[in-house]
Amino acid sequence: MSGCDHAVEYIYQYLDEEISFFRKSRIRMHLRYCSNCTDAFEFEHKLKDVIRDRGRSDPPPELFDTLRALIEEERQKDEPGI
């Protein structure tokens, strides 16, 4: 489960081309073996395409709130119950 926190955070920046080549490489490596982050990444990626297709530059903020909640939910499933 190591690396997920960073990967999920960086996915947003990755998709916006805001992070360095080094970090992108690390995310790619993480995505190779982490299905959780791969799902989140692909979902985000498709979402961006949809938004772009519609010619929208400003996705509604609530959309990202929903996404973050979904990712947070997935992350918590990985943690052992206390």
Residues at the interface with Zn ion (CB under 5 A): 4, 7, 34, 36-37
39: which residues sit within 8 A by CB, 6+ positions away? 74
Among 65, 61, 66, 50, which Cα is nearest to 15's?
Answer: 50
Q: How far is the CB of 24 from Zn ion (least distance, A)?
A: 15
CB nearer to Zn ion: pick between 14 and 36 = 36
Q: Which is nearer to Zn ion, 7 or 71 (CB)?
A: 7
Question: Residue 79, SS3?
Answer: coil
- Nearest distance from residue 2's CB to Zn ion, in Å? 8
Element (H, E) at 26: helix 21-33
Find the shortest distance in angstroms from Cβ 81 to Zn ion. Answer: 20
29 or 69: CB nearest Zn ion: 29
